[in-house]
């Protein structure tokens, strides 16, 4: 139940600058995502999963979970606040601090890793085809031959509503985060839309509730546009596509009928 208090004036900080609340807002899917990572590796890799890489890891909710499960995990993000928060959480649990500030368009892992993953639309922050190709190439170069890249994003089918609204609430302990997401300002020719996040926080550590709001421009993908992009990076072969139910036994037929997608891409030998 939402606490019945009037929120204070909206904070000017970017939502990504308060990762302790942002990660909490998306924590509900963490266990399903982590289990899917393990299941995909078991299904598609011919070697045991040991090392992981997360471009655009934010505050590290999945880095934390996969580290707790015993994997060697490294993540990158452009947000200094998110990187500091992720490493502080890892340190508090005496886990390796493997999160650094870097650009997901160009960062390459050395040595290479078994599997990379990027969920919750982070990929759509790359607003041009050139940046998207650079990113996929850099991830491919970061993977062992036979390694996987699990890429999750929302598609915008041709007949989908171009304006949408979603609201949800998450409570952990005495802290509640109410989130509202509005999608709009859609331009299919430029392939851009705006996601506006409004985050209302009730935290007992602060005497007054707070609100944070941020607008993020995102690149739009229809099915043929995504396939065209993937064809430009032959280093990565598309194996299967899943939806956000993360059921490893239920791959989907990829088409413009799908909205929520998780692509299973595999690093090819000699590409």
Average pLDDT over residues 11-16: 77
DSSP for 155-169 reads: ---TTS-S-EEEEEE
Please indicate whether residue 5 or residue 111 has the higher confidence score (pLDDT): 111
Average pLDDT over residues 32-37: 98
Structure confidence at residue 241 (pLDDT)? 98
Average pLDDT over residues 163-178: 96
Task: Residues 20-155+221-267: name the CATH superfamily.
Answer: Vaccinia Virus protein VP39 (3.40.50.150)
Q: Residue 5 pLDDT more than 90?
A: no
Structure confidence at residue 11 (pLDDT)? 59
Residue 111: asked if its preceding bond is cis (omega within 30°), the reply is: yes
Q: How confident is the model at residue 8 (pLDDT cuts 50, 70, 90)?
A: very low
Residue 139: both structure tokens together: 């991830």
Q: Is 42 exposed, middle or buried (0-12, 13-18, 19+ CB in 10 A)?
A: exposed
Structure confidence at residue 4 (pLDDT)? 40
Sorted by sequence, the CB contacts under 8 Å of residue 250 that are 6+ apart come out as 242, 243
Q: What is the mean pLDDT of the chain?
A: 94
Structure confidence at residue 270 (pLDDT)? 67
DSSP for 93-159 reads: TT----EEE--TTT---SS-EEEEEE-TTGGGG--SHHHHHHHHHHHHHHEEEEEEEEEEEE---TT
Q: Residue 9 pLDDT more than 60?
A: no
Q: Residue 152 pLDDT more than 70?
A: yes
Q: What is the pLDDT of residues 51-98, one digit of tens each?
A: 999 999 999 999 999 999 999 999 999 999 999 999 999 999 999 999
Average pLDDT over residues 31-41: 98
Average pLDDT over residues 184-210: 94
Average pLDDT over residues 220-228: 98
Average pLDDT over residues 214-238: 98
Domain locations in the chain?
Answer: 10-14+157-219, 20-155+221-267
Report the Cα 13 to chain-centroid distance in Å: 21
Q: How confident is the model at residue 12 (pLDDT cuts 50, 70, 90)?
A: low
Q: Residue 129 pLDDT more than 80?
A: yes
Average pLDDT over residues 182-192: 97
Owner of token pair 């139910």: 245
Q: Determine the CATH number of domain 10-14+157-219.
A: 2.20.25.110
Structure confidence at residue 179 (pLDDT)? 97
Sorted by sequence, the CB contacts under 8 Å of residue 66 that are 6+ apart come out as 34, 37, 52, 73
Query: Rounded to whole angstroms, how far apart are CA atoms 199 and 48?
Result: 39
Q: Residue 207 pLDDT more than 90?
A: no
Structure confidence at residue 13 (pLDDT)? 73
Q: Residue 208 pLDDT more than 60?
A: yes
pTM: 0.94
Q: Which long-range contacts (CB under 8 A, 24 or more apart) does 42-45 make?
A: 43/248, 44/148, 44/239, 44/240, 44/264, 44/266, 45/114, 45/115, 45/146, 45/147, 45/148
């Amino acid at each position: 139940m939402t606490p019945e208090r009037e929120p204070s004036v909206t904070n000017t900080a970017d939502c990504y600058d308060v990762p302790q609340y942002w990660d909490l807002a998306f924590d509900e899917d963490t266990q399903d995502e982590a289990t899917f990572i393990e299941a995909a590796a078991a299904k598609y890799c011919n070697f045991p999963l040991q090392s992981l890489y997360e471009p655009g890891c934010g505050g590290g909710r999945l880095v934390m979970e996969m580290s707790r499960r015993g994997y060697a995990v490294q993540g990158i993000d452009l947000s200094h606040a998110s990187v500091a928060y992720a490493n502080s959480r890892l340190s508090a649990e005496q886990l390796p601090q493997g999160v650094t500030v870097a650009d997901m368009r160009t960062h390459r892992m050395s040595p290479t890793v078994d599997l990379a993953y990027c969920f919750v639309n982070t990929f759509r922050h790359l607003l041009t085809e050139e940046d998207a190709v650079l990113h996929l190439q850099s991830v491919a170069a970061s993977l062992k031959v036979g390694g996987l890249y699990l890429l999750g994003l929302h598609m915008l089918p041709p007949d989908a509503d171009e304006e949408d609204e979603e609201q949800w609430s998450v409570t952990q302990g005495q802290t509640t985060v109410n989130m509202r997401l509005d999608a709009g300002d859609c331009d299919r020719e430029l392939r851009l839309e705006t996601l506006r996040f409004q985050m209302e926080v009730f935290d007992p550590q602060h005497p007054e509730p707070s609100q944070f709001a941020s607008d993020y421009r995102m690149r739009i993908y229809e099915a043929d546009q995504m396939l065209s992009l993937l064809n430009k990076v032959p280093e990565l072969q598309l194996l299967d596509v899943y939806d956000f139910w993360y059921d490893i036994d239920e791959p989907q037929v990829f088409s413009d009928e799908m909205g929520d997608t998780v692509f299973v891409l595999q690093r090819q030998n000699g590409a």
